[in-house]
Copies of this chain bind each other. A is one copy, B any other.
Amino acid sequence: MNKIYNPNRKDWSKLLERPTKTVEDIEATVLTVFDEVKLEGDKAISRYTQRFDQVELKEVMVSSSEIEEAKLLVSNELKNAIKVAKSNIEKFHAAQKTEKVSIETVDGVSCWQEKRPIQKVGLYIPGGTAPLFSSILMLAIPANLAGCKEVVLCSPPNKEGKINPAILYTADLCGVTKICKVGGIQAIAAMTFGTESIPQVYKIFGPGNQFVTVAKQLATKFGVAIDMPAGPSELLVVADDTANPGFVASDLLSQAEHGKDSQVILITTSKGIIEKVEQEVEQQLLDLPRKEIAEAAIKNSKLIYVENDQEALDIINEYGPEHFIVCIKNEEYYVENIVNAGSVFIGNYTPESAGDYASGTNHTLPTNGYAKQYSGVNLDSFMKSMTFQKISKKGIKSIGNAIELMAEAEGLQAHKNAVTLRLESLKDE
């Protein structure tokens, strides 16, 4: 692990640099798949499913009998765990509902803001050996609370043409309206253009490999919105001697096992904890099934010592971590003053994996420093706010002249006319 003591402020941006990926070489592939799906619809989908997933499907849509079968295959223990998570996620996201905002800005001028659901959303859930059913909880639950009419889920089939039972069980539990056996670039293309069997959607959510990431970026060129730009997962822990080094190490490792490009950083005002955490990491690493991946990520990790809390906070805000764990005596200082972070985990008994699964917060968070300007997924991600205004005769008399003057100063005479006509009609009232 790389240990850095009192880094100079001018070196911070170099020190905090994230690994950059070049995606240009896969952009051409993504564009080709998009073109073909747009042109040929289901025919292209079927061809790419054969090529990439090595299976020929008779039917893209998951049937209700497949869902019933899946329910029998998921253990009751796991079902109960999923229900615990669902209940917490539901509570926290339901609490995010906002009322209509309504005011009369001046007498006779009523303005209000209301949020209305995005009618059609698409969720992408990767397949493979690790079925990310937790991402379904994080996306389908708020989609349903928001009132989205159509919630389409795409996930790649395995070689037997099936989707993992835990994915089907969770999707059904959370009110997904359509589940499609399609993965990768072709799934994103299908939800962008729509095919004979797969509906077009207005916004696409969910994780994926670099092909899916580039495909989501491309989708935005065709008028579809996406949840947020994606990058490798990351965790920053701020700790002092009040932190449990074993717990801190376990959190760093839980991030490191995501991928070799995962980012793991410890910031501390205690030199002692650096050594202890390093030892614990080495120890715990030995038993991990995904040891090879975690080891690579840990090699690039950084343990940074700084003199005081102010310095620590500044460096953290400069980095803008996706996940931010605070295990330090002066925790209030960090919680109050952090401005750039996706989600914050406070105290020794709040592991990052709690937020990944079951505390109630959303695990779809801004990576790559995007916490500086993007929110993590929340209830509002599935809605858009619209404004309304209704002006009475009295109201237009009151603000009409200001509009006329401003429109004229901006050289927009027809804008002025629209008010002048109305004011003239009210001259004698």
- Write the residues of chain A forming the contact surface with B, with a CB cutoff of 8 angstroms: 77-78, 80-82, 84-85, 87-88, 91-92, 95-96, 98, 101-103, 105-106, 109, 111, 113, 116-119, 129-134, 166, 202-203, 220, 223-225, 229, 244, 246-247, 250-251, 253-254, 256-258, 284, 288-290, 294, 335, 338-362, 366, 368-376, 378, 380, 384-393, 395-396, 399, 401-403, 405-407, 409-419, 421-422, 425
A357 contacts B254, C-beta separation under 8 Å: no
Known interface pairs A92-B105, A225-B374, A419-B354; A410-B133 also in contact (CB < 8 Å)? yes
Nearest opposing residue in chain B for A253, CB measure? B414
Minimum CB–CB distance for A204 against chain B, Å: 10
Instruction: List, in ascending order, chain B residues with CB within 8 A of A116's CB.
Output: 338-339
Instruction: List, in ascending order, chain B residues with CB within 8 A of A284's CB.
Output: 414, 417
Known interface pairs A131-B409, A412-B130, A418-B351; A361-B387 also in contact (CB < 8 Å)? yes
B251 contacts A387, C-beta separation under 8 Å: no
B406 contacts A82, C-beta separation under 8 Å: yes
B417 contacts A250, C-beta separation under 8 Å: yes
Nearest opposing residue in chain B for A399, CB measure? B358
B371 contacts A223, C-beta separation under 8 Å: no
Query: Which of B348, B357, B368, B373 has a CB less than 8 Å from the CB of A384?
Result: B373
Instruction: List, in ascending order, chain B residues with CB within 8 A of A224's CB.
Output: 373
- Most chain B CB neighbours (cut-off 10 Å) among A225, A341, A402: A402
A88 contacts B118, C-beta separation under 8 Å: no
Instruction: List, in ascending order, chain B residues with CB within 8 A of A391's CB.
Output: 347, 349-350, 354, 359
Instruction: List, in ascending order, chain B residues with CB within 8 A of A244's CB.
Output: 425
Known interface pairs A130-B411, A341-B386, A385-B375; A357-B257 also in contact (CB < 8 Å)? no
Complex Cα distance A399/B63, Å?
A: 33
Listed A/B pairs (8) with beta-carbon separation below 8 Å: A117-B339, A223-B368, A257-B412, A288-B414, A344-B386, A344-B388, A354-B396, A362-B387
Complex Cα distance A98/B91, Å?
A: 18
Known interface pairs A342-B386, A349-B422; A103-B119 also in contact (CB < 8 Å)? no
Complex Cα distance A84/B402, Å?
A: 7
B371 contacts A384, C-beta separation under 8 Å: yes
Q: How many copies does the complex hold?
A: 2
Query: Which of B85, B102, B335, B399 has a CB less than 8 Å from the CB of A402?
Result: B85
Known interface pairs A81-B402, A403-B357; A225-B414 also in contact (CB < 8 Å)? no
Instruction: List, in ascending order, chain B residues with CB within 8 A of A95's CB.
Output: 101-103, 113
Nearest opposing residue in chain B for A394, CB measure? B349
Nearest opposing residue in chain B for A84, CB measure? B402
Nearest opposing residue in chain B for A425, CB measure? B244
B119 contacts A105, C-beta separation under 8 Å: no
Known: A133-B406, A353-B407. 17 other contacts (CB 8 A): A81-B401, A88-B106, A95-B113, A98-B98, A116-B339, A119-B339, A132-B410, A202-B372, A247-B421, A253-B418, A254-B418, A289-B411, A346-B390, A354-B389, A357-B406, A358-B402, A376-B387
A415 contacts B353, C-beta separation under 8 Å: yes
Known interface pairs A111-B359, A342-B386, A350-B391; A223-B370 also in contact (CB < 8 Å)? yes
Complex Cα distance A129/B355, Å?
A: 53
